[in-house]
């Protein structure tokens, strides 16, 4: 039996005791004829099932969470040789022991004799722990079941008790979501602190040279990496600006058309299509960018350069042109977020009360005057909120940039040139063969933290603006 088996047994017994509790409630009602049950029989069933399932599951989960650590500690306490090891070697040895104990495979690191003995001890403790865990959980389940079952009678307020328990279930689900987010944030935070202990934070924030290679062997050429993240932040912002310059007007105007001008038939056709468009994986947009738009932009760049040479315009004549360009990435990313902006803007524009339209029309305004002078200003906070959410998406976008803008960290305002973004660099830093504790890998976490903070701030502003919009009328 393993953890999963036990969980399935627990779940099955919860279903079974549901029927038991329900049946008892029914029979009690019949035996005390004349007295009505306080709640429907189902509620007695739910209550029995919840009391059987929840406490046992809680203990089971918490135990499983700490089991491995406690067993390890107990194992170490048994062997003085292990206690003498340094922290790094100890964790190595522990991994070795765990693998040996669970799979029987041995990679022959460290002292084989000690490790084999330790693995046996670890195994033993682990089995004890597991048996104890199952025993305690089962006892709790039985206790919960008996406690509830014995109390079932027509005056018991099962419905109210179920309601109270449900609140706890909801609370736990909410907590899991929040704790997961916090967990991710802290793991990124700790690795970033580690990174900043090796690379000064000032270099990261203000340095203009990004070249994160690390020597694999000593005296390697170009071994000193430099971690100035300014080109990455610039690349991210630059591409996002290009994308928003495309998406903001296009999305807004299309939204105005859909919500104010289009007939309900057209609207009913276009809206689902746009939602499908919003669901296209970004990698598809990515190869569209790399294979179609990229070369087009490059050819346009060559044409500009030719014009520059012919007309003797120095800036154009010296234009750097490459197939991977921020313009290509920005254009395609703009197309990607158009449906997003359109959908959000359409919602807020439709939410403007008809009284505003009537009021403006009754004063002799044409439709477009009404739209631009009353509807759009009224919906503007919501529209801006939508824009900010779209920017967050643009900043977080990876695949399009990776495929269309490249990985060269250029600090340039030339949209024909290749740039790179934070997300792209995180991908390139973390994929391929790496030492996991190298500065190069840690840099990815620092970049992730920067990205997290940027999008967090943008989202907070967006939420604030959107909330303000909700209080606009009345």
Partner 1 sequence: MNNNDIELNQQLGKTVGNPLVDGIPRMSCQSVDVFYNQDLQAIFNVSVDLAKNQILAMIGPSGCGKSTLLRCLNRMNDTIDGCIVTGKIYLDNEDIYTSNIDPVLLRAKVGMVFQKPNPFPKSIYDNVAYGPRLHGLMTNNSELDDIVEESLTKAGLWKETKDRLNKPGTGLSGGQQQRLCIARTIAVKPEVILMDEPTSALDPIATATIEELMYELKSSYTIAVVTHSMQQAARISDRCAYFHLGRLVEVNDTNIVFTNPEHGLTENYITGRFG
Query: Which chain residues interact with partner 1 by CB under 8 A?
Result: 353, 355-366, 369, 373-374, 377-378, 472-474
Q: Which of 155, 154, 168, 129 is nearest to 51 (CA)?
A: 168
We find the least distance from the C-beta atom of residue 408 to partner 1, in angstroms, to be: 48
Share of the chain residues as helix, strand and coil, in percent rounded to the nearest 5: 80, 0, 20
Cα(first)–Cα(last) distance of the chain, in Å?
63
We find the least distance from the C-beta atom of residue 369 to partner 1, in angstroms, to be: 6
**Burial annotation 331-352 (CB, 10 A radius, 16+ → b, else e):** bbbbbbbbbbbbbbbbebbeeb
| Phi and psi torsions of 105, nearest 5° | -90, 135
We find the least distance from the C-beta atom of residue 253 to partner 1, in angstroms, to be: 21
Q: How far is CA 325 from CA 82, 210, 232, 239, 322, in A?
A: 55, 18, 14, 9, 6
Rg of the Cα trace of the chain? 32
Task: Using DSSP, state whether 342 is helix, strand or coil.
Answer: helix
312/471 with CB nearer partner 1:
471
360/454 with CB nearer partner 1:
360
We find the least distance from the C-beta atom of residue 356 to partner 1, in angstroms, to be: 6
Task: Using DSSP, state whether 211 is helix, strand or coil.
Answer: strand
Q: Measure the CA–CA gap between 135 and 141, rounded to whole angstroms.
A: 10
We find the least distance from the C-beta atom of residue 252 to partner 1, in angstroms, to be: 18
Task: Using DSSP, state whether 213 is helix, strand or coil.
Answer: coil
Q: Is there a contact between 199 and 227 (Cβ–Cβ < 8 Å)?
A: yes
237/365 with CB nearer partner 1:
365
We find the least distance from the C-beta atom of residue 456 to partner 1, in angstroms, to be: 29
We find the least distance from the C-beta atom of residue 361 to partner 1, in angstroms, to be: 6
378/422 with CB nearer partner 1:
378
276/362 with CB nearer partner 1:
362
3/347 with CB nearer partner 1:
347
464/468 with CB nearer partner 1:
468
Q: How many CB atoms lie within 10 A of CB 44?
A: 33
264/431 with CB nearer partner 1:
264
Q: Measure the CA–CA gap between 292 and 280, rounded to whole angstroms.
A: 17
We find the least distance from the C-beta atom of residue 360 to partner 1, in angstroms, to be: 7
DSSP 232-260: HHHHHHHHHHHHHHHHHHHHHHHHHIIII
């Amino acid at each position: 039996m393993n953890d999963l088996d036990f969980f399935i047994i627990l779940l099955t017994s919860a279903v079974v005791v549901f029927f038991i509790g329900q049946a008892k409630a029914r029979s009690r009602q019949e035996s005390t004829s004349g007295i009505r049950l306080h709640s429907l029989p189902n509620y007695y069933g739910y209550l029995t099932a919840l009391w059987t399932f929840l406490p046992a599951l809680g203990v089971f989960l918490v135990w499983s969470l700490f089991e491995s650590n406690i067993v390890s500690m107990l194992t170490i306490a048994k062997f003085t040789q292990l206690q003498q090891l340094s922290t790094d070697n100890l964790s190595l040895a522990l991994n070795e022991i765990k693998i040996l104990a669970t799979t029987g495979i041995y990679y022959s690191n460290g002292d084989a004799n000690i490790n084999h003995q330790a693995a046996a001890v670890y195994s033993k403790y682990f089995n004890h722990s597991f048996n104890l865990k199952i025993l305690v959980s089962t006892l709790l389940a039985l206790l919960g079941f008996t406690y509830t079952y014995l109390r079932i009678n027509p005056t018991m307020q099962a419905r109210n008790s179920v309601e109270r328990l449900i609140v706890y279930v909801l609370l736990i689900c909410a907590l899991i979501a929040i704790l997961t987010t916090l967990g991710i944030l802290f793991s990124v935070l700790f690795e970033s602190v580690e990174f900043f202990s090796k690379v000064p934070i000032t270099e990261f924030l203000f340095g203009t040279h990004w070249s994160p290679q690390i020597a694999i062997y000593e005296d390697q050429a170009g071994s000193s990496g430099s971690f100035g993240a300014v080109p990455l932040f610039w690349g991210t912002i630059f591409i996002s600006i290009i994308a928003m310059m495309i998406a903001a007007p296009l999305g807004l105007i299309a939204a105005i058309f859909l919500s104010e001008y289009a007939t309900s038939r057209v609207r009913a056709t276009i809206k689902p299509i746009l939602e499908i468009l919003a669901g296209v994986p970004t990698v598809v947009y990515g190869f569209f960018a790399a294979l179609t738009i990229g070369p087009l932009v490059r050819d346009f760049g060559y044409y500009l350069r030719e014009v520059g040479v012919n007309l003797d315009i120095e800036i154009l004549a010296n234009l750097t042109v490459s197939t991977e360009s921020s313009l290509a990435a920005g254009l395609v990313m703009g197309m990607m977020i158009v449906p997003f902006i359109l959908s959000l803007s359409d919602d807020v524009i439709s939410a403007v009360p008809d009284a505003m339209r009537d009021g403006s029309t009754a004063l002799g305004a044409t439709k477009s005057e009404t739209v631009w002078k009353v509807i759009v200003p009224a919906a503007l906070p919501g529209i801006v909120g939508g824009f900010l959410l779209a920017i967050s998406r643009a900043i977080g976008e990876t695949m399009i940039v990776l495929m269309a803008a490249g990985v060269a960290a250029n600090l340039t305002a030339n949209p024909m040139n290749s740039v790179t973004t934070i997300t792209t660099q995180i991908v390139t830093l973390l994929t391929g063969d790496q030492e996991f504790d190298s500065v190069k890998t840690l840099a990815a976490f620092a970049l992730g933290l920067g990205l997290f903070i940027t999008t967090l701030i943008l989202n907070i502003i967006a939420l604030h603006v959107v909330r303000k919009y909700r209080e606009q009328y009345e």
